[in-house]
Amino acid sequence: MTFLDMDARFSNIVSKGQREGITIDDYNVLKQIERELLTALRRTYGNYDYLNNDFYAAVEEMYKKGMSGVLTYEDYLSFKEKTVGLDEKISSYFSSEVAGENEEILYGNVCSVIDEIDYNKLSTGLSSEQLKYIKEHAYLLPLAVANNTHPKIKMYGDNSYMFLCQFHVEHTPSMGVTDLKNLMHCFACHTNGNAIDYLMKYEDLSYSDAVQLASEIFMFDTGVKEAGFKELVAKYQDAILSEQYQELLHKGFDRLNSRGIKNIGNINVEDAYNYRFGMIERIRRGDVDPTFQCDGVKRLVYLNKKS
């Protein structure tokens, strides 16, 4: 991008932001402009800064030596050597300053807009029905299995599994995942929540990124391309396809069956397990969830409200 391109794209994004809000694509363009400007500014000022430090270091060294009374002719020569070309570089710095000035102003403007962007409040662009679907069908159990470090995952109650807590350091498991309710709770550090909360905390993501990651893991097609979660998606899908996760599901289903429990709250046990086993097969084949309806999302970025 040339300077004029960057300037024009920046102005477009700002005026669009004032009219209708900034999309995640706009945000990414802003970040790209920021990076390119920073590179350009480093190119302009970088050498000068380096030489400047080098020069002052040489002066300081000379001064210290001189004060102790052992300044030699060699010292003088090495000092001259370090300052050779200094005038030339300083004059080239001043002549390029004009070219750098516009870039510097634009860089300042881009940075201040980026500072105002509240990335954590980035809208998912999904409806509340779609978010509800994702929260209900993005399962916590395989996520916890993916990050499990304890050799045995024990069951407790009707439908819960105990893990070593993945949010604090401990040696006996305190983190319970209740599969059909799709919730977790640590009895020691009290971390709790659903699969989206889990991904936000464990992978250090914003809410909308956690929703996007969950959508990619469980293959709800939101139409967002290349969100950059390839490795994380692979890690969690491996856990979904693992024998360990399927064994846990069988154990849970058998236990509820043997106790004659058909419903937990308003959740029908058989339906819930059918969906889970269906989901495993679907992901094995690489098919999107046909029940999840979405024709593309428009994620908007919110600006921080200045008080």
Q: Which is nearer to Zn ion, 187 or 277 (CB)?
A: 187
Which of 114, 189, 264, 280 binds Zn ion (CB under 5 A)? It is: 189
CA 180 to chain centre: 28
| Residue 220 contacts residue 294 (beta carbons within 8 Å) | yes
d(CA 120, CA 103): 28
Q: Which is nearer to Zn ion, 122 or 175 (CB)?
A: 175
Q: For 98-112, give the DSSP string.
A: HHHHHHHHHHHHHHH
Closest by Cα among 198, 233, 226, 217 to 282: 217
Expressed in angstroms, the distance from the first to the final Cα of the chain is: 35
Which of 16, 43, 168, 250 binds Zn ion (CB under 5 A)? It is: 168
Candidate segments 79-87, 138-146, 165-173, 202-210, binder of Zn ion by CB under 5 A: 165-173
Q: In angstroms, what is the minimal distance from the CB of 192 to Zn ion?
A: 9
Q: Per CB under 5 A, does 31 bind Zn ion?
A: no
Q: Per CB under 5 A, does 269 bind Zn ion?
A: no
Q: Per CB under 5 A, does 113 bind Zn ion?
A: no
Q: In angstroms, what is the minimal distance from the CB of 201 to Zn ion?
A: 11
d(CA 52, CA 29): 34
Candidate segments 47-55, 106-114, 181-189, 233-241, binder of Zn ion by CB under 5 A: 181-189
Candidate segments 56-64, 97-105, 182-190, 291-299, binder of Zn ion by CB under 5 A: 182-190
Q: For 235-275, give the DSSP string.
A: HHHHHHTSHHHHHHHHHHHHHHHHTT--EETTEEHHHHHHH
Q: Which is nearer to Zn ion, 51 or 189 (CB)?
A: 189
Give the count of residues interacting with Zn ion (CB under 5 A).
6
Q: Which is nearer to Zn ion, 194 or 215 (CB)?
A: 194
Q: Per CB under 5 A, does 162 bind Zn ion?
A: no
Q: In angstroms, what is the minimal distance from the CB of 170 to Zn ion?
A: 7
Q: Which is nearer to Zn ion, 71 or 188 (CB)?
A: 188
Q: Which is nearer to Zn ion, 188 or 241 (CB)?
A: 188
Q: What backbone torsions phi and psi does residue 297 show, to the nearest 5 degrees?
A: -120, 155
Helix or strand (DSSP H, E) at 19: helix 3-19
Burial 264-288 (b: 16+ CB within 10 A, else e): beeeebeebbebbeebbebbeeeee
Q: Per CB under 5 A, does 150 bind Zn ion?
A: no
Candidate segments 62-70, 85-93, 111-119, 189-197, binder of Zn ion by CB under 5 A: 189-197
Helix (H, G, I), strand (E, B) or coil at 290: coil
Q: In angstroms, what is the minimal distance from the CB of 146 to Zn ion?
A: 17
Helix (H, G, I), strand (E, B) or coil at 173: coil
Candidate segments 26-34, 80-88, 100-108, 180-188, binder of Zn ion by CB under 5 A: 180-188
| Residue 142 contacts residue 240 (beta carbons within 8 Å) | yes
| Residue 208 contacts residue 122 (beta carbons within 8 Å) | yes
Which of 22, 29, 144, 165 binds Zn ion (CB under 5 A)? It is: 165
Q: In angstroms, what is the minimal distance from the CB of 195 to Zn ion?
A: 17
Q: Which residues here bind Zn ion, judged by CB under 5 A?
A: 165, 167-168, 186, 188-189
